[in-house]
Each structure stands twice: as C-alpha cells, then as structure tokens.
Structure 1
Amino acid sequence: MKKWENRAFGLLDKSLHPVPSELNEIDWKSGLSNKTERLAQHISAFSNIPEGGFLAFGINNDGIPIGISKNQIDEIIQQLGQIARNNLSVTVIIDHIVLLVGDQPVLIVHIPENLAKPVFPRGKTIWDSYTRSAGQTVKMSPNEVKNLIALSQGQTFEEQIALPNQTTETVINLIDFDSYFRLYNRPLPNGNTAIVKTLASDDIVKESENGTWDITNLGAITFARNIVTFKNLSRKAVRVIQYNGTNKLHAIHEIEGKRGYASGFEGLITYIMGLLPTNEVIESALRREFKMYPEVAIREFVANALIHQDFSILGTGVLIEIYTDRIEITNPGVPLVDTNRFIDTPPKSRNESMASLLRRLKICEERGSGVDRAVSQIEAFQLPAAKFERGEDYTRVTLYAHMQLTKMEKDDRIRACYQHCCLLYVSNSTMTNQTVRKRFVIAETNYPMASRIIYETLETGLIKPKDATSTSKKHAAYVPFWA
C-alpha cells in the first residue's frame, strides 16, 4: 500500500458522506478536461497546500460516482504526467491508484506537497500561484504568496507579514499601542515614530527597505484594534457561544472578538465570567455568590488555547462554548504533548514568539505551572475533573459543572483520581485513600468507596503503587504511571 492511500480513502469518504461536498484536499472530476491551463492550476494548488491533495476522476459534480474506463484512465495519467513535468515552475511527481466506490472504478491522482513553494504554471510569475479554498482552486492573494514563501524559507507564523508597507500613522491606527504600553506598565514614548520603533523592538512591526513598516502576524494577532482588518487573520478571531441547554440547538449569546489576543484578553475573560452561572453559599449567616467555575482555570485554558493553536489550519480559530453543564474550549491543532501529561510536562508551543510575548505581559504562566494551578482550583471548587481531548485536528478542554459523586460516570471518577494523583506528585506528595476521600468529599466511614475509585484507576494503568513491594492496603500510597 502507498503511504498516502489511507489518507485518500478517508478524504474521499468524507467528501461523499453524509452530504457530498468537495474539500480543499480533494477535487472531483467526471472525466479529463481539454483545458491544460486549468489542470496546471489544479496541480499548482495541491502542490502548495500542506500534505498535498487529490484529483478524483469518475465522480460527477453532484458527488455521484459514475466510474471511468481503462482507456480514460490511461489517457488521464499520460496527460497529467506531461503537465506535471512540463507545465509548472518545477517538476511535480504525481502518483495514482484505482479503487471501487460502490461498483464504480474511480481514479485517484495524488499530487504531493512541494517543498519549494509556491508552485505556479510555467510561463507565469510567482504571483500567479494557486491554492485551495472552500473546495475550489483559486489564485493566491499577494499576501498568501508572501506567507507561503516565508514558510518555504523556514519563517514561523509570527514572523510572516500580515500587512506590508504601512506608514507610521497607519500603524498607529491599526495597532492598539495603548494596551501594549499599559500591559508592560511602561510610559508612552513621545511621538508616533518613537511608539512604532518601540513596537518594532518586540517584532510587532518590522521596518521595510523603503522606510515604511510591515505589520507582522505576531503584531496583528496580539494587538490588532480589529483583527478583521487583516484579511488572512480574520477567521482567527475568538468566538464565544452560550447555549440554553446541554446541546447546540438553542444559542442565546454569540460574539466574535475583534481585538488582538493580548489587548482583548481581559475583556474576553470578563465577558466569559459574566455568562457563567453562580452558586450561592452561606458563610457566617451571610449569603455569598460564587461563579460555578474558577476564574484561574478559565484564564489558563483560554490562554493555552490561544497560544498553542495551529495557525496553519485555515478557516477556524479558538471557540469557547458555554452549556448549562459544561464549558468547552477548543483550538485548531493537536497538542504537542500527551494529554495525560498536561499537568507535569512543560508546554510546547508551535508559536514560541507569541507565547514568549504573552508570558512577558503576564497573560499566561511563565514556567508551565498554569495547568497545575487550574486543576488545583477545580479540585478546590469540588468540580469534576477537566477533560483534555486530542481530536483529529483540534485540542479541546472541557470543564464540568458541579456533580454529585453518585452521578459521576466511571470515566469521570478515573479522570479525577488520576489528575488528583498527578497534582499531589508534582507538589512532592502522594495520593492515599484519605486524600481521595477529601477530593471526592467522601465520609471517613465510607473509605471502601475511595478504595473502589483507586482500584478503578489502577486497572487503567494511569496510577501505580508507590511501593510495589508493600502489601498494606491501609497505608498504601500511589503515584502517576510516569513517576
């Protein structure tokens, strides 16, 4: 089997079911077009996107497999091979397989991602490069071409240019420099030129060769007055949705943030906290209201979602969804560390420059201890343990509202027990039956319930006895599997 076959099968199935829809990674063709120039554009587009893509011959525009003959297959392979060799700025090595969809033969042509990007039709210029967007082959914008060149040369997302050749006055209008100096607790320099030069010291902007300023992706995503101003970043604005219930049927509030992540962070957290339900607690004959979820945890997990997202995944950004029984915080991109090691492992970020800047501004933790503090606060609020989930192309953290132990599922108990064990271990302590009773508010006389939870977690392999040779149950202590 070819290395790319499983990906081709998965994408084809995804494009055909449940509702047929072409994807950025796959394009249906009922047969071979005689438009050589358009075929070259398709190959250019797939060569320029991450992991490349596929042309699927034998599927009509409605997503119905109509099949393709042996003679057609031979002709397509010959003509596409010639175009890939002769009609592009570089030679593209294509490959193919034939598979049955239902009872119809379909030709899948694999066009790999090219290392030297952008790829464009021969006889044209680099500005005539193509990409895939909303399932269509489209010409790249000048900004997209520049960013692709930057990626090909090893530039990070933050170093790439969001808006080139801007005057000092335009930078002042587009970048929230007031928030920048306020967060740093620095006095405002005298004059616009001095302000912009200070921004340049943090790579918010870069001076271009003609004396104007290039606003970097780092500057735009952290301190934009309005992210929509920067076309290529507009979909990276944070969305907050509140639902009436435990599903997505009835949204009662929805807002999309416009400000940069740094300048808008405090407002974002304030907005989220304002939507959260409260619990009423009586202390010393006085009634006090507390938010259902600890602000420390909300701040930490929202900051992590912003910092660790994968900006190369287009068309999506950080999403915060508030239900009556939970909060889900989702960011594009899979985590770079095992979700079971979030508590003890220092975070790894795809966006180190942004992470470093937000740490200097004290928006996120300096030494990777933020998840520890968040989990500790969740325990203090007697909430179920947070769930850390790795999806196909996303990371999700779910915080749950208060739930009685008797209502918890087995997975909830195991997750809470494991995180409790991790938290104690990184605090130079160990988990025991007594600490588990405290975590779950279990009466001392009901110690068998705590023992059962420990045993359930032991069975998963997430924890282990601190002393494997000890036979004492009463004084047994436990550590995480990685200890």
Structure 2
Amino acid sequence: MMHTRDQLLHLVPDLTTLPAETEWVEFKVDNTDPEMIGKSVSALSNSARIAGEDFGYLIWGIEDGTHKTVGTMFDPARAKKGNEQLETWLVRLLQPQIHLQFDRLTVNRKDVVVLTIEPAISEPVKFRGVEYVRVGPSTRELAKYTDRMRRLWRAFDQRSWTKAAARERLTDDQVLGLLDYPSYFHMLNLPLPENRHGILDALRADGLIAKEPGSWAITNLGGVLLARRLADFPSLARKAFRVIRYRGSNRLETLKEQIGARGYASGFEGLIDYVNGLLPTSEEVGSALRTTNAVYPPLVVRELVANALIHQDFGITGAGPMVEIFDDRVEISNPGQPLIDKQRLVDAPPRSRNEELASLLRRMGVCEERGSGWDKVASQVEVHHLPAPEVTTTDETMRVTLLNQRSLGDMTGDERAAAVYLHACLNQVSRLNTTNSSVRERFGIEERNKATASRLLKDAVNRGLIVAYDPDASPRMMRYVPFWAAPDDRQVDR
C-alpha cells in the first residue's frame, strides 16, 4: 500500500537527513525531462528491490548536494510528454507495469513533489525495453553491472511468489486432504512414508507446505503443483490451464472448452493427453494399412505447454496459461513477457521467474533440463517439416503459435525466412554448418533446385537474420550463421 500524504510529510524530512543520495532515493529540483524520469523510475524500482526497501523515491524540490528544501515548479498533474499525460506515458513505457504515485506537498513552506515507486516484483523493470539501476548517485544500464544483476535476481528469489501462503491455519488432515501427495511421491520415484509425519516432513522440505504456530500453511508452490482441486485455493483458481478447441481458423465458434481442475504436476499428464486428443491428425495410406499421424509432434506440444506453465508471471492476476486449437494452428500462451529476447530462445542461457517451481517440475520429469526445451522444439519442427513457431508478445502475454504443415510454396516470405533462421540457430548450437545443402535438406528441395535454396538464404541475409560467416568464401564453401553469431567485425544491429 502506498503512503498517505501525512506519512509522506513525515518521511520527506527524514530522507533529507540521509548523508547522501542512496540507491533507492534520488533528489531533483526542476529537472523534469520525461526520459530522465523514465530511466530513474526503472533504476529506483530495481535498486529498491536489491536494497530490500518497501519503495523507491524520486523527489523534486530538494537540492542534491545539500539536501536543502528549496522547492520546485514541477506540477506532475499538468506535465505532459507530447500530448500524453506524463504519468500515463510513463506507465505505458515501463515493463512490467508497477505502481507509481505522484504527490505534491508543502514541506518547510516549499512545494515538494514525491514520486513513490513500487520495487520490482519478479523481474527487472525496463524503460523503453532497457533495464536500469542506481550506481551511487548515477543511473546506469543494469546489463553493464553483473554484480547488481545477480543481487537483483537473488532478491527476487528471496521474495519468491512460491513461498507465499495459498491457504493458512490448516490441520494435518486438511493439508493431506487438499494436496495430492501420493502424486508427489510417485513422480519423484520415492516410497510413500509410513505415517503422516513422514509425508508432511517431505512436503515441507520441498517448500510445498510451511509450519505455522500450531498449524500448517500450504504455499503457492504446493497449491499450484499438487492441488486436488485448484478451486479450493481462491488465489490460484484463475491460474488453472485452459484448453479451447475452435471450429475453423477463428474464435467465432467454440467446440470444446476445458479448465484444468488439478495442480500442474499432478494433472500434467492428463492435460497433455487431453490436448493431444483435440489436435487434428492426418491419415497416410500405405500398401496395406491406413495410419493416423499427429499433425503436431507430441514432444513439441509437451515442451511448449510445460514452458507456458513454468515461465508465466504469477504477478499478473486474473490470467493463466492457455492452449487454443484451430484447424490450421495451435496457440499456446501464458501471462508475462519472456525474460530473454524472443529471437534468442534457442541459444540464450535460460532465465526463469519461477526457478523453485521449474526445479521441482524437472525432478518430477514434467520438463527437460535447463535450456534444452527449445532445442528439442526446433529439432522436432525441422524433422516434421513444419514452419518455425511464431513467438509474439504483448504487454502481459507471450504466445507461441504452431503452424500446420505446409509446402514451401504455400509458406509466406516471413515464414520461410523464420524457418531458415531457426535452422541456422539450431545448427549453431549443435556445431553444425548452415549451407545451401542443409537448407535443401530442411525444406526437401531437390539438388537440381539449388537456386531455390540460395534465394531462401539471400532473403534471410537481407532481413538481417543470418550472415555469411566468410563473405569471400567460394560458393561451394559458403556457410551462414545467425546474426548473433556473426564475427565481431560484422555484427548486425537489430
């Protein structure tokens, strides 16, 4: 909860007694440049989380060096960026969105403006896509200060959503009645303890429950993974996985809709079976038998559903992961933007908002080892000659779209270029070469049509997705790498 005006009137004089600006407090007089304010908000939000403070503060009307109250002409209610109100503009360019509050006060008979800033919650706060942090009295790009980056992520872990209580003041019997504890032991290949104390101790050791004076609490981690019924946990009910099957290629007519009732771990195999049962299939007639094949590789569906569960932003309320199935595509979405560039999902080191949840699901066999999931997705897409998955993001959602199998001639130019880029990424991490020959194999192009593969490579180069590793190599020796693997003297700015 933000401060009241009376609280701020007592707080501001206390902050001016600090010997110097801290990394979570910044003083200004009349510098009201919106770009400066946006960068400062990002830096103060991230630095407040590192410092363990309840808020960060940007205060106008206080002299920087002396901390003397001199007053300000700044009026946030009238301030604009272009034709847009300053506060609205700031909220739009900050991701993820955080709570901001401007207050105009009179301190020592001077006008003072206080901007109270919520600390970063589960990931660094960005302004215009860049993360900032306070370094002494200065605002700097967080990426250049790896020590602060590590401290910030440690602070997120310490304030983990997974540790918060989903249900409190529970008896032993209530805990065991609410959680599907047999699935926990089965999925970890552990023998079921002989008594309830052994069961409770094991659940507690993995952070699924927590001891309270005279009672138990089920943590968010325990509830979201092992709930017998997610509806028994009011704060988690909206995090249930939704599966929707539509008729045709739009959302006008819903054929089936199912909302998952159980926790993610105990209900995962049932969820995957249900999704696969709704996916379209294709028939292949052999010399004697008719076989039914999955249009979408089951491993790809499994990995992307697991990713949606694991990497969602639990701080976004009222939304959960979802699979939407159309005749020509499958869309798998989750709340929250990816923490890494969507064009670097194959090669970039993995980052997760929910490492405790991911770690336990890995032990349970629900998902793959860190960083291997997208490699498998890319590999399976190539084996089955599918278009590259499309990754799109909005302010609060990440969506992966799997497209139905289609011939090279039926693909759009964007789809062809994306497939070439994904092919180059997969080869790069597998230490294989991307060449005319490899592209022909990827698309099933006959050798006599080398020119077609050359045009595909040229288009991907023109789009800045790949580069020739050695432009002076002979045509037979020409190989390509993703833009991010280009030699230093030919780095592509994207």
| TM-score, normalization by structure 1 | 0.71
Mapped to 1, the partners of 2:101 and 2:383 lie a distance apart of 51
* 2:481 corresponding residue in structure 1: 479
Mapped to 2, the partners of 1:115 and 1:335 lie a distance apart of 19
| 1:351-400 CA-partner distances (Å, limit 9, x unpaired) | 11001101111111113111111111111111111112232221111100
* 2:68 corresponding residue in structure 1: none
Question: Is 1:417–1:453's contact at 8 Å kept on the other side of the alignment?
Answer: yes
One of 333, 338, 359 as aligned partner of 1:330: 333
Question: Is 1:300–1:364's contact at 8 Å kept on the other side of the alignment?
Answer: yes
Q: 1:263 to 1:94 in 2, by over 3 A?
A: farther
* 2:166 corresponding residue in structure 1: 162
One of 424, 432, 451 as aligned partner of 2:435: 432
1:443 aligns with 2:446: yes
1:465 aligns with 2:468: yes
Name stretches of at least 5 consecutive residues in structure 1 with no aligned partner. 14-24, 27-48, 56-76, 86-92, 96-110, 118-150
1:216 aligns with 2:263: no
* 2:289 corresponding residue in structure 1: 286
Residue 407 of structure 1 aligns to which amino acid in structure 2?
A: D
Q: 1:286 to 1:152 in 2, by over 3 A?
A: closer
One of 184, 187, 190 as aligned partner of 2:188: 184
Aligned residue for 1:214, secondary structure, equals strand
Mapped to 2, the partners of 1:283 and 1:430 lie a distance apart of 35
One of 221, 243, 248 as aligned partner of 2:246: 243
Q: 1:396 to 1:94 in 2, by over 3 A?
A: farther
Name stretches of at least 5 consecutive residues in structure 2 with no aligned partner. 1-32, 39-79, 122-154, 486-494
Task: Tell me by how many angstroms 1:94 deviates.
Answer: 5.7
Question: Is 1:162–1:217's contact at 8 Å kept on the other side of the alignment?
Answer: yes
Task: Tell me by how many angstroms 1:187 deviates.
Answer: 1.3
| 1:140-176 CA-partner distances (Å, limit 9, x unpaired) | xxxxxxxxxxx99952101111111211100011011
* 1:141 corresponding residue in structure 2: none
Mapped to 2, the partners of 1:6 and 1:219 lie a distance apart of 45
Q: 1:321 to 1:113 in 2, by over 3 A?
A: same
- The residue correspondences of 1:331-370 to structure 2 (distance < 5 A) are 331-370=334-373
* 1:398 corresponding residue in structure 2: 401
1:204 aligns with 2:251: no
Question: Is 1:50–1:113's contact at 8 Å kept on the other side of the alignment?
Answer: no
Question: Is 1:115–1:152's contact at 8 Å kept on the other side of the alignment?
Answer: no
Task: Tell me by how many angstroms 1:445 deviates.
Answer: 1.6
Question: Is 2:166–2:235's contact at 8 Å kept on the other side of the alignment?
Answer: yes
Question: Is 1:321–1:327's contact at 8 Å kept on the other side of the alignment?
Answer: yes
Task: Tell me by how many angstroms 1:211 deviates.
Answer: 3.0
Aligned residue for 1:413, secondary structure, equals helix
| 1:14-40 CA-partner distances (Å, limit 9, x unpaired) | xxxxxxxxxxx89xxxxxxxxxxxxxx
Mapped to 2, the partners of 1:50 and 1:376 lie a distance apart of 35
Task: Tell me by how many angstroms 1:112 deviates.
Answer: 3.7
* 2:71 corresponding residue in structure 1: none
Q: 1:410 to 1:153 in 2, by over 3 A?
A: closer
Question: Is 1:166–1:214's contact at 8 Å kept on the other side of the alignment?
Answer: yes
| TM-score, normalization by structure 2 | 0.70
1:263 aligns with 2:266: yes
1:51 aligns with 2:54: no
Q: 1:11 to 1:473 in 2, by over 3 A?
A: farther
| 1:88-110 CA-partner distances (Å, limit 9, x unpaired) | xxxxx866xxxxxxxxxxxxxxx
Task: Tell me by how many angstroms 1:247 deviates.
Answer: 1.0
Mapped to 1, the partners of 2:157 and 2:316 lie a distance apart of 19
Residue 476 of structure 2 aligns to which amino acid in structure 1?
A: K
Task: Tell me by how many angstroms 1:268 deviates.
Answer: 0.6
Question: Is 2:98–2:120's contact at 8 Å kept on the other side of the alignment?
Answer: no
Question: Is 1:159–1:217's contact at 8 Å kept on the other side of the alignment?
Answer: yes
Task: Tell me by how many angstroms 1:327 deviates.
Answer: 0.6
Mapped to 1, the partners of 2:274 and 2:373 lie a distance apart of 21
Mapped to 2, the partners of 1:325 and 1:395 lie a distance apart of 20
Task: Tell me by how many angstroms 1:474 deviates.
Answer: 3.1
Q: 1:219 to 1:452 in 2, by over 3 A?
A: same
Mapped to 1, the partners of 2:447 and 2:310 lie a distance apart of 43
Residue 195 of structure 1 aligns to which amino acid in structure 2?
A: I
One of 172, 179, 191 as aligned partner of 2:176: 172
One of 410, 415, 434 as aligned partner of 2:413: 410
Residue 225 of structure 2 aligns to which amino acid in structure 1?
A: T
Root mean square deviation, CA, Å: 2.8
| 1:319-369 CA-partner distances (Å, limit 9, x unpaired) | 111111111111111111111111112321001100110111111111311
Mapped to 1, the partners of 2:183 and 2:380 lie a distance apart of 29
Task: Tell me by how many angstroms 1:253 deviates.
Answer: 0.7
| 1:232-291 CA-partner distances (Å, limit 9, x unpaired) | 111111111111011111111111111111111111110000001111123454221111
1:298 aligns with 2:301: yes
Q: 1:360 to 1:465 in 2, by over 3 A?
A: same
Task: Tell me by how many angstroms 1:50 deviates.
Answer: 5.8
Mapped to 2, the partners of 1:10 and 1:259 lie a distance apart of 44
Mapped to 2, the partners of 1:355 and 1:243 lie a distance apart of 30
Aligned residue for 1:158, secondary structure, equals helix
* 1:126 corresponding residue in structure 2: none
Question: Is 2:101–2:117's contact at 8 Å kept on the other side of the alignment?
Answer: no
Mapped to 2, the partners of 1:480 and 1:267 lie a distance apart of 38
